[in-house]
Structure 1
Amino acid sequence: MGYDYLVVGTGLFGSTFAYEAAKRGKKVKIIDKRRHIGGNIYTENIEGINVHKYGAHIFHTNDKEIWDYVNQFAEFNRYTNSPIANFNGEIYNMPFNMNTFNRLWGVITPEEAKAKIEEQKKNAKIDKPTNLEEQAISLVGTDIYFKLVKGYTEKQWGRKATELPPFIIKRLPVRFTYDNNYFNDRFQGIPIGGYTQIVEKMLSSNLIDIELNVDFFDKKEEYLKEFPKIVYTGMIDQFFDYKFGELEYRSLEFETFILDKENFQGNAVVNYTDAETPYTRVIEHKHFEFGTQPKTVVTYEYPRTWNKGDEPYYPINDDKNNEKYRKYKALADDIPNVIFGGRLGQYKYYDMHQVIGAALSLVKKELI
């Protein structure tokens, strides 16, 4: 057949590798079980609005090389991620910053905010945090935890916060400035015209053949015999037929509506942090690109327990699952012609810039 690589999955990892391989004269076949390319960054134009079909994706990085790399495929706008939180109708700025503290307690200065948090931390008497609840309270106190962390997090992960590892909450910024920018990264934005164009350009080489609606596992043994090398970005436990049992994931369900109004919620992302609201957030897609269309498109995002056959979105990297993953990785390391990559192949939560970085690291190792 003359192919140098089979790439399984047209998400950012697989597409970046395929692009770089083709640049070096390698012939690549890339397959995907979905009907479209792009994996979870796929955007679809609806009513002139680029809709993020698998949840909000905001590109951000401190790495200038990665930023320059992705900008060769699309022009990015100046979108700044500034989500807001809705707790039973009360609106708070995210991430936690002086605007949040002022709304909660009426404090004005950073000293007042810090004193309030320290008072609550002291009253909670948490010495060494052993779970997410204790870690969150030790970071931001009880008021913020119970209003803006507990309900959202327990919906997101399907577990009580006392059963979740403390590291999850450490990603959340806490600032004592009036700054609603969620990320601290130097570079941030949304591609003008949506994300799909990035993958389209990556896969446009005549050395890359694309097949969609193809399940790797329908012809797994055949592929392993036919292709000298395979870059596999699917679930590592599925590749080995769940030999050590299933790794755990969280899944998502999306409900999308076209509304005959110009502006539904006034922000791209609104998080619902109470326990009673069944969805975690509502996304109004037009605000990612400062849209002025006469209609709007909104998506309600519901976290779900993952069952075999569901789409896996978030690996649950607790001790039990990480130990199971290590067993699968040991098997993977013994297969020289299969490379496991991406969020599912490496059972690791990646942001988009990290996916590209990991793919380019593989390129340096494999193709240079």
Structure 2
Amino acid sequence: MYDYLIVGAGLFGSVFAYEATKKGKKCLVIDKRNHIGGNVYNEKKEGINVHKYGAHIFHTNNEQIWNYVNGFVEFNRYTHSPVANYKGEIYNLPFNMNTFNKLWGVVTPKEAKEKIEEQKGRVGINNPTNLEEQAISLVGTDIYEKLIKGYTEKQWGRSAKDLPAFIIKRLPVRFTYDNNYFNDKYQGIPIGGYNVIIEKMLEKSDVRLEVDYFDKKEEFEGIAHKTVYTGMIDQYYDYIYGVLEYRSLKFETNVVEDTDNFQGNTIVNYTDRDTPYTRIIEHKHFEYGTQEKTIISKEYPIEWKKCNEPYYPINNQQNNETYRKYKELADGEQNVIFGGRLANYNYYDMHQVIGAALVAIEKEFGDK
């Protein structure tokens, strides 16, 4: 009846469906949510595209991927420049000369480097064994205490001393006055939101929403020649090797009636430990909105349970070993293609998901 059953209408599934239908294949796309797009879905409120599942900024150095997404929609010139709020003190992110000047009054890169080295030397960490030691060895104690410790402990729900060092090994530090968070050549937000892209990708596929694959697995087993599965890999195998762990998020989204500009920036991170949320997103700034009202979302990290959405895989040694067992099973499947962040138990940026889907298409069809 179908060539492909695609479980999940997020980026991976949508790209696969689009490319497969271009090749004349018939696809059925199902999703347990009541909308397409997965976590990149935008919900329209008060004329504002709300990033329902957290901020999604498209960025990449891959020209092929950039041209690919621009084939569906035009992107604006949005540049991601978040700020940090530590008990009312505002600092630029990522850590750069503006941050160092606000912290210490230094003006030159030489002064900033000397200040960081002085603090690192005072602590004397030679072989970092946890996240706290790793962060201090990179940026010193002041930045760690004000801008890393509280935010990270809220994000992961654990003491920084109990988190592995590798989480923060690639901490971005710049000795220039540059507030652009990403180093990528291409960056922006699709004009009209990500829904525009997904709708175009799925327009030639059959789509069924509010359908849980596992509630009707027997029904779907014979409906297509192959399955593209983008859900949790441990759930696919009924958790036979155990449950993979994630961190989840809770969003508190509100329309602000009495102002058209709540915080003056798209994203403000709250880096103290006492503020319960990690950041506030003001959605209209993604697309330079001029609406009379504004909409904000407070983002609360929470422990993941099976009833929550899994956002961030906890890639510690135990979970990675469990995932490898599931991957061995997946690699042995002849008629199932696994893809996306949940099926691969890995946190991906959007361009990486699209690239992986295109690789899967190339592997599946080759020169056929």
User: TM-score normalised to the size of structure 1?
Assistant: 0.98
- The SS at the match of 1:30 is strand
Cα distance in structure 2, aligned partners of 1:292 and 1:228: 49
What is the 5 A alignment of 1:82-121? 82-121=81-120
Residue 50 of structure 1 is matched in structure 2 by: 49
Deviations 1:22-80 (A, max 9, x none): 00001000000000000000001111111100000000000000000011111101100
1:206-221 matches, cutoff 5 A: 208-221=205-218
Instruction: Give the letter aligned to residue 300 of structure 1.
Output: K
Structure-2 separation of matches of 1:165 and 1:25: 47
Correspondence for 2:268 among 270, 287, 292: 270
CA-CA distance at 1:171 after TM superposition: 3.6
> 2:194, 2:275 → 1: CA distance?
30
Partner deviation per Cα, 1:192-227 (whole Å, 9 max, x = no partner) = 11111110010012xx10000000001213322332
Question: CA separation in 1, counterparts of 2:313 and 2:340?
Answer: 12
CA RMSD of aligned residues (A): 0.8
Q: 2:219 & 2:137 partners in 1: Cα distance?
A: 54
Give the corresponding residue for 2:182.
Answer: 183
Secondary structure of the 1:14 match is: helix
Q: Structure 1, unaligned stretches of length 5 or more?
A: none
Aligned to 2:277: 279
Question: Which residue matches 2:229?
Answer: 232
CA drift at 1:129: 1.4
Structure 1 partner of 2:240: 243
**CA distance in 1 between partners of 2:318 and 2:31 (Å):** 30
1:127-206 map, 5 Å:
127-205=126-204
User: Equivalents in 2 of 1:45, 1:284: separation in Å?
Assistant: 14
Deviations 1:293-316 (A, max 9, x none): 100000000000001121101111
Does the residue aligned with 2:342 lie in a helix, a strand or coil? helix
Once the two structures are overlaid, the 10-residue window that deviates more, 213-222 or 20-29, is 213-222
| SS of alignment partner, residue 73 of structure 1 | coil
Of the structure 1 ranges 252-261 and 158-167, higher mean CA displacement relative to structure 2 is found in 158-167
Q: For each residue in 1:123-180, what CA deviation from the matched residue of structure 2 results, as whole angstroms up to 9, or x when unmatched?
A: 1111111211111111110100010001000100111111212222134310000000
TM-score of the aligned structures, taking structure 2 as reference length:
0.98
Distance in 1 (alpha carbons) for counterparts of 2:312 and 2:6: 22
The amino acid across from 2:229 in the alignment is Y
Aligned length, in residue pairs = 365
Q: 2:357 aligns with which of 351, 356, 359?
A: 359
Unaligned regions of 5+ residues in structure 2, if any?
none
Structure 2 residue matching 1:325: 3-state secondary structure? helix
SS in 2 for 1:26: coil
Tell me what 1:78 maps to: 77
Aligned equivalents of 2:44 and 2:333: distance in 1? 41
Q: C-alpha deviations, 1:97-148, integer Å up to 9, x for none?
A: 0000000000000000000000111111111112111111111101000100
| In the alignment, structure 1 residue 24 sits paired with structure 2 residue 23 | yes
Q: Distance in 2 between matches of 1:67 and 1:306?
A: 33
> Structure 1 residue runs of 4+, over 4 Å off?
none
Query: Take 1:300 and 1:308, find their aligned partners in 2: how far apart are those partners?
Result: 22
CA contact (8 A) 2:29 2:206 kept: yes
Contact 2:125–2:137, Cα closer than 8 Å, also in 1: yes
Paired residue type of 1:228: H
Give the distance between the partners of 2:252 and 2:78, measured in 1 at CA. Answer: 24
1:347: which partner in 2? 345
Query: 1:243-300: CA deviations, max 9, x gaps?
Result: 1111000000001000111100000000000000000000000011111110000000
Q: Which amino acid aligns with 1:31?
A: I
**Whole-Å separation in 2 of the counterparts to 1:328 and 1:97:** 41
Which residue in 2 is equivalent to 1:328?
326
**Distance in 2, Cα, partners of 1:164 & 1:361:** 33
Mean CA deviation greater in 223-232 or 234-243:
223-232
Q: Structure 1 CA distance, aligned partners of 2:325 and 2:221?
A: 21
SS in 1 for 2:255: strand
- Letter aligned with residue 85 of structure 1: A
Mapped contact 2:5–2:223 kept (Cα < 8 A): no
